């Protein structure tokens, strides 16, 4: 199977062909026969997934991300999964060879119609996804206990490239200049601390949060001008907290600043970012911005 990723903007193409066919013979020994990477740009996120184990238990590994932010969410869907996940437990991902690890709060999501359980870890830096593409195995542990060690198929490099191109394609659809994604171009980076762009005080919240003082969750899409200022903002996801919806974009337009994206010749170009806001009742209340 071949997947062509094309950016439909002013005749400029970022087209690549990512060969996501079943991997070579050696890779096929590691993962289920006929399994293929799936890359999807449906909705407002890009996703990458593949069945990596057919039995004992069945397992699918995936990554998903809002285009325009510097991190991805990891998901392992396990069927069956026979244990609960406590609110304070951590999910640890370990790559081999090399031993690179990432540890994040563990989230367990029951799938519909008895489809197993999705174990999730968010805010993984782009470097981890690049390292995953070069690894041979990934070990997933929850609370210090291994859930399993799963192969990384040899086609992972092409799949990750297609995943990244999916994000670039969406950003261009949303108004980013394709020149920033061409060879030699540079993407935006935040100026200052994004965690200070929207705060609890902006939402008139006091800590600790409680049942009657709930912050909320939203994702804002920011239009970034060539001078690095934000000149456009809209919410592409919200849990309908009216204070957050009224405040988030107004505050981001005033505070958010970026080093602008640049074309290969060095001139600044227009870009787009997404800014996820998570102000919820947790054991340790945090607000996550774009590049945390």
- The DSSP symbol for 3 reads E
Which pLDDT band, with edges at 50, 70 and 90, does 93 fall under? very high
Q: Span 260-265, mean pLDDT?
A: 95
CA distance 272 to 252: 13
Comparing 112-116, 146-150, 160-164, 227-231, the range with the smallest average pLDDT is: 112-116
**Whether residue 156 has pLDDT greater than 80:** yes
Taking residue 185's Cβ as centre, other Cβ atoms within 10 Å add up to 18
C-beta of residue 130 within 8 angstroms of C-beta of residue 159:
no
- pLDDT the model gives residue 291: 39
**Whether residue 247 has pLDDT greater than 80:** yes
**Whether residue 259 has pLDDT greater than 70:** yes
- Is the domain spanning 175-279 CATH 2.70.98? The answer is no
Comparing 22-36, 110-124, 208-222, the range with the smallest average pLDDT is: 22-36
SS3 of 205, please?
A: coil
Q: How far is CA 143 from the centre of its chain?
A: 23
Residues 6 or more apart whose CB falls under 8 angstroms from that of 211 comprise 281
- pLDDT the model gives residue 29: 37
Element at 158 (helix H, strand E): helix 156-173
More confident residue, 240 or 156: 156
Which pLDDT band, with edges at 50, 70 and 90, does 53 fall under? confident
Which pLDDT band, with edges at 50, 70 and 90, does 116 fall under? confident
Q: Span 51-64, mean pLDDT?
A: 88
C-alpha closest to that of 33 among 15, 48, 51: 51
- The DSSP symbol for 250 reads H
Model confidence pTM above 0.95: no
**What's the token pair of residue 192?**
């200052």
Residues 6 or more apart whose CB falls under 8 angstroms from that of 45 comprise 64, 65, 66, 67
- pLDDT the model gives residue 8: 32
State pLDDT tens for residues 60-69. 999 999 999 8
Which pLDDT band, with edges at 50, 70 and 90, does 287 fall under? very low
Which pLDDT band, with edges at 50, 70 and 90, does 206 fall under? low
* pLDDT, mean over the chain: 80
CA distance 171 to 271: 8
Question: CA end-to-end span of the chain, whole Å?
Answer: 35
CA distance 122 to 108: 12
Radius of gyration, alpha carbons of the chain: 20
Sign of the four-CA dihedral 185, 186, 188, 192: negative
- pLDDT the model gives residue 290: 40
């Amino acid at each position: 199977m071949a997947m062509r990723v094309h950016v439909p903007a002013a005749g400029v193409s970022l087209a690549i062909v990512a060969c996501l066919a079943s991997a070579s013979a050696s890779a096929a020994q590691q993962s289920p026969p006929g399994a293929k990477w799936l890359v999807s740009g449906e909705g407002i996120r890009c996703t990458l997934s593949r069945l990596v184990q057919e039995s004992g238990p069945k397992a699918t590994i995936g990554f998903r991300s809002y285009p325009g932010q510097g991190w991805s969410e990891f998901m392992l869907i396990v069927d069956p999964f026979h244990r609960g996940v406590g609110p304070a437990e951590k999910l640890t991902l370990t790559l081999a060879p090399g031993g690179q690890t990432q540890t994040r709060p563990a989230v367990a999501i029951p799938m519909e119609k008895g489809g197993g359980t999705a174990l999730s870890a968010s805010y993984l830096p782009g470097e981890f996804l690049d390292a995953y593409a070069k690894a041979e195995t990934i070990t997933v542990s929850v609370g210090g206990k291994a859930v399993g060690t799963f192969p990384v198929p040899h086609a992972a490099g092409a799949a990750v490239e297609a995943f990244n191109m999916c994000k670039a394609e969406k950003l261009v659809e949303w108004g980013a200049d394709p020149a920033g994604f061409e060879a030699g171009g540079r993407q935006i980076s935040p100026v200052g601390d994004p965690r200070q762009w929207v705060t609890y005080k902006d939402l008139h919240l006091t800590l600790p949060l409680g049942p009657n003082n709930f912050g909320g969750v939203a994702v804002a899409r920011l239009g970034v001008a060539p001078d690095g200022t934000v000149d456009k903002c809209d919410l592409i996801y919200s849990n309908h907290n009216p204070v957050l919806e009224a405040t988030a974009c107004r505050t981001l337009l005033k505070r958010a600043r970026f080093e602008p994206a640049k074309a290969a010749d060095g001139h600044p170009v227009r870009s787009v970012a997404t800014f996820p806001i998570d102000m919820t009742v947790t054991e340790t209340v945090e607000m996550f911005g774009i590049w945390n």
